[in-house]
Each structure stands twice: as C-alpha cells, then as structure tokens.
C-alpha cells in the first residue's frame, strides 16, 4: 500500500496514527525516541483556559492489562501551550490536535476561540468526558443534549478548524450521543475515552487513587472500545477516530476494519516511548500481508451476516 494518508473532513493526516491526549505530553517529551514528523498526528494533553494542578497523588495505578488514571487534567493552560510548546512542534508535517477541557460550555467556546487563531493547530478535540459544573457535575458526554450544546458552542468559535468531539464509553447508548453531536455540527468523532473504574488495596484499606475513581485504559478495554466504535460508525456519517487499548499494528487495523478512519494510541506509549513511531513503521508490511492496497478497500469491511 503506497498511500497511507487519510483525510478526515478537512483534517489531513500523512498516516492514520495519532497519539492520544494525556499519554504523549505536549509531544516534545518524545522527540528523543523518534521523529515526531513521522506521526500522523499528536493530540496534546487536555488544555484549559487557566493552568491546572490536577488531583492529589497517587493518581495512577496499574491494573490487569491496563491502568487507571485520575490526573485531573493537570496542564499548563492554553496560553503557555500556544507560546512555549506549539512553536516547537513540527505542525507543518504532523497534525497537532488541541484537546479541550472545560467545566462549562462557555469556557469550551472561549478555548476554541483562542485556538482557532493558531496556524499550528490542525483541529480541536473536545473532551466531553468531564463534569458539567453548572449541571451539578453530570458529565457532558453522558447526556446527548448537553453534548450537543457544547459541540455547537465550540463549533461557533472554531473558525475553519475541524471540530472533533471525544465520546465517553460510560453511557447506556453511545450511538445516541454520537448522533446528537453529529447533528450539532461536529466534523469528526473520536472515541473512546477511559472507562470509569476503581482499584483498592485490602492491606491499607485505601483506594489506590487519591481520587478513588479514575479512568481505565489499555488492552483490557479494547473489546469495549471496539464495540463502541463499531456502533458509532454505523450510526453517523462523519469520520470516526478509534482508540482504546491499541498496542499493535493489528489492533490499529481492527478499529479501521470496524469503520474508523484513523486511530489514537494512548497507554501503549507507556509500554515503550517509541511505540507510536514503531506503529507507523509496522503498518505498511502488515497491510501488505493482508493485501490491502487502499484504506477505502479495507475500512469498515467487517463481514457480518
């Protein structure tokens, strides 16, 4: 297969491999382990208007074939990102995607406004897996109407930047949220965010995360993620970016087989820091073995009776 590139509603990627938000820092942390320019895209850590400290320690825990995190969106704030990080990223070669975090729709819109002006930002990814402070803490992503409202608000201020909405798997009907967000104008969907989980230590009788509850990621969640992506791809017409537990080239292609246009890799970046770079290299030989000569010929071709 010659042409690894994909185009998602105006977001052009040289290959479908994007590093997932929160697992690849601001990108620069990994330049020692590979050439950032070879990646399809980089989603940076969730950005908020003001810098944030996040949750108390401990905030990560290892689980069978996965991990929990409750970082609590520690980040340097959007201004610092734009000033001190973005200029050093190879954004002309690799799509830099800003991941947006806020507690109210207006804040999301304001963030979008700041980033819409930045040439180096290829797209905005809206993290709706976080609590809506005004609505008493229920997650934006758990209610189709609220998810739609955030999408609209961001879309209005995003200018020409494609808006990608990142869905939570912690819902009864993910397709319903996906349809609502599509109707509200989202250009792309990405999923899944982490599964809500918890871990405790019977010896100390304490939770392993100070926040008690955290987000589960890694291979353990891949079956759930794949099911979500499949359901969403059948429910919407806009392009979908799949993620959740991808830790090999085969895993990546599984998401494309069920309908995704591109993938994000998260926890696997912790398996080894050159993981994403290697994944990009492993795709062509695997596609060769599968005799796939274009994405169109493979994407969404799962055979179901």
Partner 1 sequence: MADAGGCREVAVLARGGMGPEGERHGLVRLAVENPGWDTAVAGQFAMLRPVCFGQELTWARPLSLFGVTPERLEFFIQVAGRGTRRLAAMNPGDRLVLWGPLGRGFAVEPDTPTLLLAGGVGLAPFAPYIAAHPRPDNLRLVFGHRPPLAAYPFAEMAATIQAESFHEEKPGDLDRFTALLRERIAGYRDGLVLACGPRPFLSAVADMGRAAGARVQVSLENRMACGVGACLGCVEKDASGELVQTCVRGPVFWAKDLEAFSGHHGTPGKNGGCACGN
Ligand X SMILES: Cc1cc2nc3c(=O)[nH]c(=O)nc-3n(C[C@H](O)[C@H](O)[C@H](O)COP(=O)(O)O)c2cc1C
Q: Which of residues 131-190 bind a second copy (CB under 8 A)?
A: 142, 170-173
Residues flagged as binding site for FMN? 21, 45-46, 99, 127, 166, 192, 218, 244-245, 266-267
Can you read off the two tokens belonging to residue 153? 């608000």
CB of 89 to a second copy, least distance (A): 32
Least distance in Å: CB of 224 to a second copy?
Answer: 5
Identify the H or E element spanning 99.
Answer: strand 95-100
Among a second copy, partner 1, ligand X, none, what binds residue 184 when CB lies within 5 to 8 Å by partner kind?
Answer: none
**Residues near 300 by beta carbon (within 8 Å), at least 6 away in sequence:** 233, 256, 257, 258, 259
* 66 near partner 1, judged by CB under 8 A: yes
**Residue positions annotated with a catalytic role:** 130
Closest separation between CB of residue 211 and ligand X, Å?
13
Residue 69 contacts residue 194 (beta carbons within 8 Å): yes
Q: Which residue is nearest to ligand X (CB)?
A: 22
CB of 251 to ligand X, least distance (A): 9
Residue in 10, 87, 159, 223 binding a second copy, rule: CB under 8 A: 223
Taking the least distance from each CB to a second copy, the nearer of 97 and 241 is: 241
CB nearer to ligand X: pick between 3 and 177 = 177
Torsion of CA 18, 68, 220, 266, to 10 degrees: 10
Assess 219 for contact with a second copy (CB under 8 A): yes
HSE (side-chain half, CA atoms, 13 Å) at 99: 30
Structural tokens at position 270? 């912790």
Phi then psi for residue 53, to 5 deg, are -90, -25
Q: Is residue 67 near partner 1 by the rule CB under 8 A?
A: yes
Q: Is residue 94 a contact point for a second copy (CB under 8 A)?
A: no
* Minimum distance of ligand X from residue 19's CB (angstroms): 9
Q: Does position 245 bind a second copy by CB under 8 A?
A: yes
SS3 181: helix
Task: Point out which residues bind ligand X (CB under 6 A).
Answer: 20-23, 45-46, 69, 71, 73, 99, 127, 166, 193-194, 217-218, 221, 243-246, 265-268
- Least CB distance to partner 1 at residue 199 (A): 12
Which member of 63, 131, 278, 281 binds a second copy (CB under 8 A)?
Answer: 63
196 near a second copy, judged by CB under 8 A:
yes
Q: What angle do CA 104, 107, 113 make, to 5 degrees?
A: 145
Q: How many helices (H) and strands (E) does the chain have?
A: 9, 16
Helix, strand or coil, per DSSP, at residue 241: strand
User: Which partner in a second copy, ligand X, partner 1, none is near 41 (CB below 5 to 8 A by kind)?
Assistant: none
Give Cα 147 to chain centroid, integer Å. Answer: 16
Q: Which of 183, 176, 170, 162 is nearest to 241 (CA)?
A: 162
Q: Which distant-in-sequence residues (6+ apart) come within 8 Å of 192 by Cβ? A: 167, 168, 169, 174, 221, 224, 225, 228, 229, 243, 244
Q: Count the residues in the chain.
A: 305
Q: How far apart are CA 205 and CA 214, in angstroms?
A: 17
Q: Should residue 162 be labelled a site residue for partner 1 when binding is judged by CB under 8 A?
A: no
Binding region for partner 1 (CB under 8 A): 21-25, 29-30, 32-33, 45-46, 48, 50-74, 101, 103, 127, 129-131, 137, 139, 193-194, 196-197, 211, 213-215, 218-219, 247, 267, 269-274
């Amino acid at each position: 297969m010659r042409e690894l590139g994909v185009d998602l509603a105006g977001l052009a990627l040289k290959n479908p491999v994007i590093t997932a938000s929160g697992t690849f820092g601001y990108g620069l942390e990994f330049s020692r382990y590979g050439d950032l320019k070879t990646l399809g895209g980089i989603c940076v850590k969730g950005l908020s208007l003001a810098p944030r400290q996040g949750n108390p320690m401990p905030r990560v825990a290892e689980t069978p074939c996965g991990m929990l995190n409750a970082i609590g969106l520690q980040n340097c704030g959007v201004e610092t990102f734009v000033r001190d990080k973005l200029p050093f990223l190879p954004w002309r070669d690799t799509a830099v995607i800003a991941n947006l975090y806020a507690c109210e729709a207006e804040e999301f819109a304001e963030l979008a406004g700041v980033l819409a002006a930045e040439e180096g930002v290829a797209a905005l990814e809206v993290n709706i897996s976080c609590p809506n402070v005004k609505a008493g803490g229920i997650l934006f992503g758990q209610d189709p109407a609220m998810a739609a409202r955030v999408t609209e608000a961001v879309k209005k201020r995003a200018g020409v930047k494609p808006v990608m909405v990142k869905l939570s798997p912690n819902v009864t009907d993910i397709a319903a949220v996906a349809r609502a967000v599509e109707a509200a104008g989202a250009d792309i969907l990405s999923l899944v965010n982490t599964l809500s989980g918890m871990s405790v230590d019977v010896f100390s009788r304490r939770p392993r995360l100070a926040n008690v509850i955290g987000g589960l990621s890694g291979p353990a969640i891949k079956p759930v993620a794949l099911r979500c992506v499949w359901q969403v791809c059948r429910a919407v017409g806009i392009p979908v970016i799949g993620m959740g537990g991808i830790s090999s080239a085969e895993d990546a292609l599984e998401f494309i087989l069920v309908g995704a246009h591109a993938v994000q890799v998260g926890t696997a970046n912790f398996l080894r820091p050159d993981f994403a770079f290697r994944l990009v290299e492993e795709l062509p030989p695997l596609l060769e073995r599968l005799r796939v000569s274009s994405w169109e010929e493979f994407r969404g071709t799962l055979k179901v009776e």
